Structure 1
Amino acid sequence: MSRLTRSSAGNRRTRTWWVVLMTAVFCFLWQSAFVQADDSAARLHAKYQSLTQQLAHNQFQRPLYLESQELPSALKGDIYGVLNHPFAVVSGALNDPVRGPANWCDVLILHLNTKYCHASTGDSGTVLTVNIGKKTEESLSSSYRVQFQFRPVASTPDYFRVELTAATGPLSTKDYRIVLEAIPVGDNRTFIHLTYAYGYGTAGRFAMKTYLATIGSDKVGFSTTPDSSASDPQYIGGVRGLVERNTMRYYLAIEAYLGALASPADARLDKRLADWFDATEQYPRQLHEVSRDDYMQMKHNEYQRQQTAQ
């Protein structure tokens, strides 16, 4: 055998082993991802079972459970709830790597403080460019721009998890996370877990304290203080109340978005806006901010701006 023939045979063997190795690595990672998804689904099923009573009997008049945490330099809100939508519909709308980012923009824009959202894909992955501002109309130049990375973490026939993360935000806030995971709990119902969390530094802590000492001084959350009685509940305030209100607004935005999918395409925006506003008005002590007419007009204007601005 000539030296050239031996060299070609060696190259073929090298390529073959490389293909075998890469295939083995891919299979290992694929199996590992499914094992992790199965573990996460089992954990979420266990949580669903443990919340049976709370989901059936609560102050929200819907199958929902909310909890929050205040850490030394971070806030976190978690909502567990049952949606009257098939798992495939929820996953297809919010976890799909192609359609999901734009759909999330349609969810986020329902929140009073979201002034703009645009999804784009580039070398760094899929990004949601979101402007955060006041609860009333304002120009984009007056709002704060936050870049969320969109990442579908897990997707199986029985579980999905999608994460929106941003390293930095306004006024030294950081490590923003909006995380949604879900499992089917029947043919037409889906159990979801929504997390909204962020960290903050000195400037962020000062800004929140200023807000809570002035225009936000009478704002409360949904959790009650330990000394509350059934006849006269005392709701928590402060930063925990703040994160609970916003976590609830995002949850209700997901509900409103999914609820409008069955409507004709040209009617979905109005239905989403109306349903979100009506849902927030069920909790006026915590969530009422503006009139229905003002909200509808502001959001129509912001939605139209969202279609053209960059």
Structure 2
Amino acid sequence: MMTVSGKRHAVVLILTVLALIGACPGLFAEEIGNAARLRGKHASLAEQLSHNPFQRQLFLKSTETESTLTGDIYAAVDYPFASVNGTLNEPAQGPANWCEVLILHLNVKYCHASASGNGAHLTVNLGRKVEEKLSSTYRVQFNYRTVATGPEYFQVNLDADTGPMSTRDYRIVLEATSIGASRTFLHLTYSYSYGTAGRMAMKAYLATLGRGKIGFTTARDPSTERTEYIGGVRGLLERNTMRYYLAIDTYLSTLSVPSDKRLDQRLATWFDATEQYSRQLHEVDRDAYISMKHNEYQRQQTMQ
């Protein structure tokens, strides 16, 4: 039987919750709506998530317009939502944790999180898939912004006005919702825009270093009537979208690893994951990648 003090505590708790809901009903409704929307997407993709060439519950798509490229990955992962939300969407450590994610990518040479009156920022240097001085790389300034956060849904955005090869409007967006006691459904979007100069720069890359590289989507080649993997700018986009996703997945999978062993485990895990799709993602051998990333990670810690 509840005591008088217990009843008072329950009444206060109920009144507090009602006050919060009354103060910001739109925010609660929006979170519930976004969680329902994302769970609906999970249900609609059930067949694609279970039967695909990725050997994991993952669906990838890409779109190309006259001036914008967008890659989307939807994935069901075996990590509790609270863990994902508490590391990649955490106000104090979230930006720094994203640097731990991004540095795994071959083209990310440096990442540093900082804060100012305008919010949190990530300073990211992008370069080639070999070791190089930071002075030879391209610096991108991302704004880190939590769009929504709650016990069932979150969304975090990384936005940058300009990027390499005359590209602009870079966006990395991650949203997630719980789909069980220890499972989470992720949606990663990676996109950027480009004008005439950017189109010419990417065309030059695809004619040289990017020649013959492919993405993950298949399409029928009208000249041969055969189904082939796409190439070009969409192939480029899909490769990088997958690399960023695998970096997120690797980061989450190693949270329980002791801190002194975490970097080695992450480098090995990310490289092995990319080698599952070696036709699209293989660039360097394992020893070269691990050595390069050890050096870049050390530089990231010392050049703050």
* TM-score after normalising by structure 1: 0.88
Matched, 1:34 2:28: yes
2:289 equivalent among 292, 295, 308: 295
Q: Displacement, 1:201?
A: 1.6
Q: Distance in 1 between matches of 2:68 and 2:221?
A: 25
Q: Distance in 1 between matches of 2:291 and 2:249?
A: 21
Q: Distance in 2 between matches of 1:217 and 1:29?
A: 56
1:63 aligned partner: 57
Where does the alignment leave 5 or more consecutive residues of structure 1 unmatched?
1-25
Matched, 1:132 2:133: no
Q: Displacement, 1:54?
A: 0.4
Matched, 1:304 2:298: yes
Greater alpha carbon shift after TM alignment, 178-187 vs 163-172: 163-172
Q: Provide closer, same or farther for how the CA distance between residues 29 and 216 of structure 1 changes in structure 2, counting only shifts above 3 A.
A: farther
2:263 equivalent among 269, 273, 296: 269
Matched, 1:209 2:209: no
1:246 equivalent among 235, 240, 248: 240
The runs of at least 4 aligned residues of structure 1 exceeding 3 Å deviation read 26-29
Q: Distance in 2 between matches of 1:225 and 1:71?
A: 17
* TM-score after normalising by structure 2: 0.90
- Asked whether the equivalents of residues 81 and 183 of structure 2 are also in contact (C-alpha less than 8 Å), the reply is yes
Q: Displacement, 1:215?
A: 1.7
Q: Distance in 2 between matches of 1:273 and 1:133?
A: 18
Q: Displacement, 1:181?
A: 0.3
Where does the alignment leave 5 or more consecutive residues of structure 2 unmatched?
1-19
Q: Displacement, 1:41?
A: 1.2
2:66 equivalent among 54, 64, 72: 72
1:3 aligned partner: none
- Percent of residue pairs identical: 63
Cα deviations across residues 185-206 of structure 1 (Å, max 9, x unaligned)?
Answer: 1111110000000011222111
Aligned partner letter, 2:205: Y
Q: Distance in 1 between matches of 2:198 and 2:296?
A: 26
Cα deviations across residues 225-279 of structure 1 (Å, max 9, x unaligned)?
Answer: 0469xxx851001011010000000000011101111110111111111000000
Q: Distance in 2 between matches of 1:96 and 1:302?
A: 25
Q: Provide closer, same or farther for how the CA distance between residues 175 and 29 of structure 1 changes in structure 2, counting only shifts above 3 A.
A: farther
1:12 aligned partner: none
Matched, 1:88 2:82: yes
Cα deviations across residues 159-211 of structure 1 (Å, max 9, x unaligned)?
Answer: 00000000111232111000000011111111000000001122211111011
2:136 equivalent among 136, 139, 142: 142
3-state SS, counterpart of residue 228 of structure 2: coil
1:163 aligned partner: 157
Structure with bigger gyration radius: 1
Give the total of aligned pairs: 282
